[in-house]
Amino acid sequence: MNNVYINNVQKYMPNEPVFNDDIEDYLGCIGGKKSKARKIVLRSNGIKRRFYVLEKGTQKALYSNARLTANAIRKLEDDNFKLDDLECLSCGTTSPDQLMPNHALMVHGELKLDEIEVLSAAGICLSGVNALKYVYYAVKCGEIKSGVSTGSETASAILSAKNFEEESKNLQDLEQNPQVAFEKDFLRWMLSDGAGAMLLQDKPNEHKDSLKIEWIDALSYAGEMPVCMYSGGEVDKNSFSGWRNYTQDQVMEKSLLSVSQDVKLLNENIVEYTVVKPLRKILKKRDIKVEDVDYFLPHYSSEFFKDKLYAGLKEVGFEIPFEKWFTNLTQFGNTGSASIYIILEELFNSGKLKKGEKLLCYVPESGRFSTAFMLLEVV
């Protein structure tokens, strides 16, 4: 089996940064009213700025997800790698531009490359890691020498107020149904746009650092947990019904294509099912000690979960001190499947890394509770 190296990481953020007071200038106001949840959620999540594909004041998307992703991939080109040499493209996203063709094919089309292997990983935050793991396996087993994986999101196009117009008409006052209103409004202040890309190869860089992938472990708990974060359907009495079971009018009236989150279910289970249970299993499988970790790169959606995550690590005897944590949530927002790429891009290109240091990455997903941990070594 080949060793596999991340030899480049790049990101592409759309337009200018959007600060907290300006969010509704981009997303719009549902029912023409300012959100009462906005300040509460923003105060809790700690995000100071984020990026949107939307044009200020018009809610018009200036980038498609495919274009955003392609722009990140183009930045991988340098003296040692050209896109014409690419053998495999694997793309993960929560928010593709269309139901079909798949997202990765649309990215391939944007890049206008010759025939290559293409895979699209569906899902939420974990889709970017699953896309990465496919390329990792392909290089590791010797099928290819190089491949690119991506994570990307254009959540703002889903969170735009125009997508809630029909529902807001039927709720004379959104406060009449506060639970439904909050589950949808909550995510409007949590999610951001951006794209990241990684170049994986079977040999490390000659003249700069590379990250050797030691292992990637991903685990799902959907067999025992209900749906928590969703789009394209509705949870009703603990059962899930997809949008195809509704009329076109109902899809619009219920804004079924928006993104919803069961916040109570999230808060009660996210640490147990994305940290405690999986990490106990992984620690039995992998020869890793807490003192081996030089950097901990956690993807979490909100600063609200930072102390809870720490408590979860402590519970399993893997207490990583905060001085080893590296995240850029407050400056780039929660970009879902792209988050770990955007976090890793900043650290990889910072000049701070030293040979032999080890990076532990953590990516949870609340869709139906799944998680991934990944260990990298600087070479």
* pLDDT tens, position by position, 246-279: 999 999 888 898 899 999 999 999 999 999 999 9
Strands (E), 114-180: 117-121, 146-154
1.20.1370.20, 3.40.50.10190, 3.40.710.10, 3.40.47.10: which CATH number matches 5-207? Answer: 3.40.47.10
Rounded CA gap, 101 and 319, in Å? 44
**CA dist 351 → 81, 170, 200, 301 (Å):** 20, 54, 20, 26
Kindly tell me the number of DSSP H helices and DSSP E strands found in the chain: 14, 15
Judge whether 5-207 and 213-378 match in fold.
yes
Quick one: tokens of 207? 């003249």
**pLDDT tens column, 71-121:** 999 999 998 899 999 999 999 999 999 999 999 999 999 999 999 999 999
Quick one: tokens of 318? 């893997």
Quick one: tokens of 361? 């990455």
342: region left, alpha or beta (phi > 0 left; psi from -120 to 50 alpha): alpha
Closest Cα to residue 302, out of 192, 194, 184? 192
Q: Is the peptide bond before 101 cis (omega within 30 degrees of 0)?
A: yes
Rounded CA gap, 223 and 235, in Å? 17
Pairing of strands 229-231, 259-261: antiparallel
Rounded CA gap, 201 and 2, in Å? 10
Pairing of strands 358-365, 370-378: antiparallel
- Given CATH 3.90.420.10, say whether it is the number of domain 213-378: no
Contact at 8 Å (CB) between 54 and 62? Answer: yes
32: region left, alpha or beta (phi > 0 left; psi from -120 to 50 alpha): left
Rounded CA gap, 173 and 171, in Å? 5
| Entry pTM | 0.95
- 3-class SS string, 220-272: ECCCCCCCCEEECEEEECCEEEEHHHCCHHHHHHCCCCCEEECHHHHHHHHHH
Domain boundaries, the chain: 5-207, 213-378
Backbone angles phi and psi of 149, in degrees to 5: -120, 155
- Classified as helix, coil or strand, 94 is coil
Percent of the chain with pLDDT over 70: 95
pLDDT tens per residue, the chain (379 residues)?
999 999 999 999 999 999 999 999 999 998 888 888 898 999 999 999 999 999 999 999 999 999 999 999 999 999 889 999 999 999 999 999 999 999 999 999 999 999 999 999 999 999 999 999 999 999 999 999 999 999 999 999 999 988 887 766 655 544 555 554 566 678 899 999 999 999 999 999 999 999 999 999 999 999 999 999 999 999 987 799 999 999 999 998 888 988 999 999 999 999 999 999 999 999 999 989 999 999 999 999 999 999 999 999 999 999 999 999 999 999 999 999 999 999 999 999 999 999 999 999 999 999 999 999 999 999 9
Q: What is the DSSP letter of 100?
A: S
DSSP per-residue letters across 4-46: -EEEEEEEE--SS-EEGGGHHHHH--GGG---SSHHHHHHHH-
**pLDDT tens column, 281-301:** 999 999 899 999 999 999 999
pLDDT value for 168: 64
